[in-house]
Chains A and B, each alone.
Chain A
């Protein structure tokens, strides 16, 4: 009882001012605290409008006008506007996390602009292919403009590296859903370049990506970008898509070396094809293996959940305090000292951490299963036989940049 009374006194005195505001006699006018307003909301909607216009124009340039020049200038504009002027935030790639968080955190509602940034490129891709990548993505634009002498990567390497974006997307969704952090934004290599200011290691990462991008074209887009997983999938089933030739392919092979991203499929070699029976057998086998991949991935993922959950501050702090109770006396450890001063009990912290870890357990099963599915599907795709007679862009991997169009000698009829 006395304790409660004491607490009451403390809280009351805490609200009172120790030193009452003086009454001035000299006619002093008290200034107001300066609180400059954030960027006007209308400007955020302007960004959405700009994205819509750029997406429409790139799609028009790629599919109708067939102008690489036009796409190039649009990507320069995108790099300058969304990159250097808007400092790379908000972008469609990172908006994945905002949408995820709004589904899992009841206190957070995704802003309409972020939602539109997430949706518009997907819808455009469903109709026109990855025209977003061609000229409306600032991360893609800056890489596209530094391509100097692209080398061709072997197919197996591209396929293996191509699995990483799915892992990255899965991790980003897991960490956004659990309210841990936004890893896509944190490890965005180009944001430091757009802002001309970032921690040293991020600048090093950004510059090395650009240097590598001179020879391995668009390394981030092809082997890291998590949003590309969705765009790749959507583009495979797009209604229209950029075509290399304006009318009919004459198989002159002139375009084969034009694509810096190895995204042009060559016609099937009739002699080398396996018999259709073996093909079907292979397909059935790999399809039957799919559930196995999912189960194995899910199992491995769930085994990693303890490790994955350590990124969450509560789990990290709880573990640290249990394993090293002596750190409570370390005045240098800000996290522990703040926790001790906050009045939160150890039990509450451990309970919160345990609940968080349970979320991670479920999440890592799904994450692992998803990665397993992607690996299984990648393998399955290798045995699917698709008869191709012409040189066509690979719908999943093609960025619709339009470089190949200039190489085609066929006139439009």
Chain B
């Protein structure tokens, strides 16, 4: 009697185990068909970004992994830079009160008359997008926000993407991890 009960229990157990093994196998097969050998990373589509400022505050990291990137190809090297100066700037000088950037992360360098180069210091940038807003509104839009992948921890779900009002942050394949304006154009 004892032995019988034991073998019955063992039979049920091994039977269920086989069913479960097959279930996992089936699930694995289905999922494999839907899988990719590529890794996903998060990136901002600069053409959809509305510079709402949430990138600076919603990232798990502080300061944010989102930084301003400068597509020099598109830059007009303007003296009056909409991304560098406040709209009501007293004069076109590098004085702090004239700068739009709250972290003074943009360096203005004289190249030749009348052109200036603007360089982003990534370690100072907080990803607030104020310069992007100015550059997009008054200039060529060469300044734009990108997620920097040497800082980004590649969370399973990006906490900025969750609250991005224009759904500009999407998963992209890791081999094309950036959407730098100029080298990458909006398909739509």
**Is the CB–CB distance between B149 and A33 below 8 Å?**
no
Interface residues of B in 130-188 (CB under 8 A from A): 139-140, 146, 148-150, 152-157, 159, 162, 165-166, 171, 174, 177-178, 180
**Is the CB–CB distance between A112 and B17 below 8 Å?**
no
When C-beta atoms are compared, the residue in chain A nearest to B62 turns out to be A197
CA distance A397 to B35 in the complex (A): 32
A26 partner residues in chain B, CB cutoff 8 A: 111-112
When C-beta atoms are compared, the residue in chain A nearest to B162 turns out to be A181
**Is the CB–CB distance between A38 and B41 below 8 Å?**
yes
Given contacts A197-B60, A237-B16, contact A41 B174 (CB under 8 A): yes
Q: Kindly supply a per-residue 1/0 record for chain B positions 39-81, scoring 1 wherever the CB is within 8 Å of any chain A CB and 0 otherwise.
A: 1110000000010111000001110000001111111111000
Q: Kindly supply a per-residue 1/0 record for chain B positions 7-38, scoring 1 wherever the CB is within 8 Å of any chain A CB and 0 otherwise.
A: 00000011011001100100110111011111
**Is the CB–CB distance between B74 and A17 below 8 Å?**
yes
Nearest Cβ distance between residue A44 and chain B, in whole angstroms?
6
**Is the CB–CB distance between A185 and B155 below 8 Å?**
yes
Partner of B72, one of A30, A36, A44, A98: A30
Q: Kindly supply a per-residue 1/0 record for chain A positions 245-264, scoring 1 wherever the CB is within 8 Å of any chain B CB and 0 otherwise.
A: 00000000000000000000
Partner of A41, one of B14, B39, B74: B39
User: Among the listed stretches A73-81, A209-217, A338-346, which one makes contact with chain B, having 4 or more residues with CB under 8 Å of it?
Assistant: A338-346
When C-beta atoms are compared, the residue in chain B nearest to A19 turns out to be B76
When C-beta atoms are compared, the residue in chain A nearest to B122 turns out to be A34
Partner of A334, one of B16, B52, B122, B174: B52
Nearest Cβ distance between residue A178 and chain B, in whole angstroms?
13
A338 partner residues in chain B, CB cutoff 8 A: 50, 52, 165-166
When C-beta atoms are compared, the residue in chain A nearest to B182 turns out to be A33
**Is the CB–CB distance between B153 and A109 below 8 Å?**
no
**Is the CB–CB distance between B166 and A102 below 8 Å?**
no
Instruction: Verify if A294 is at the interface (C-beta below 8 Å from B).
Output: no
Given contacts A34-B69, A239-B17, contact A103 B31 (CB under 8 A): yes
A21 partner residues in chain B, CB cutoff 8 A: 73-77
Interface residues of A in 173-209 (CB under 8 A from B): 181-182, 185-186, 195, 197-199
Nearest Cβ distance between residue B74 and chain A, in whole angstroms?
6
**Is the CB–CB distance between A36 and B149 below 8 Å?**
yes
Interface residues of A in 89-111 (CB under 8 A from B): 89-90, 94-95, 97-99, 102-103, 108-111
**Is the CB–CB distance between A89 and B112 below 8 Å?**
no
A325 partner residues in chain B, CB cutoff 8 A: none
CA distance A93 to B148 in the complex (A): 26
**Is the CB–CB distance between A18 and B61 below 8 Å?**
no
The size bracket of the interface on A is 35 or more
CA distance A35 to B145 in the complex (A): 12
Total A-B Cβ pairs within 8 A: 162
Instruction: Verify if A123 is at the interface (C-beta below 8 Å from B).
Output: yes
**Is the CB–CB distance between B115 and A24 below 8 Å?**
yes
Nearest Cβ distance between residue A177 and chain B, in whole angstroms?
13
Nearest Cβ distance between residue B168 and chain A, in whole angstroms?
10
**Is the CB–CB distance between B177 and A25 below 8 Å?**
no
Instruction: Verify if A22 is at the interface (C-beta below 8 Å from B).
Output: yes
CA distance A38 to B73 in the complex (A): 23
CA distance A223 to B152 in the complex (A): 31
Chain A interface (Cβ within 8 Å of chain B)?
Answer: 17-22, 24-26, 28, 30-39, 41, 44, 87, 89-90, 94-95, 97-99, 102-103, 108-113, 115, 118-119, 122-123, 126, 181-182, 185-186, 195, 197-199, 233-234, 237-239, 334-335, 337-339, 341-342, 387
Chain B interface (Cβ within 8 Å of chain A)?
Answer: 5, 13-14, 16-17, 20-21, 24, 27-28, 30-32, 34-41, 50, 52-54, 60-62, 69-78, 111-112, 115, 117, 119, 122, 139-140, 146, 148-150, 152-157, 159, 162, 165-166, 171, 174, 177-178, 180
Q: Beyond the given A102-B31, A335-B165, A338-B52, could you list 16 further A-B residue pairs with CB under 8 A, ordered by the A residue number?
A: A22-B77, A36-B148, A36-B150, A37-B150, A38-B177, A89-B153, A108-B171, A111-B36, A112-B35, A119-B28, A185-B157, A195-B61, A195-B153, A198-B60, A238-B17, A387-B5
Q: List 8 A-B contacts (CB under 8 A).
A: A21-B77, A35-B69, A38-B41, A95-B156, A111-B37, A126-B20, A126-B21, A182-B157
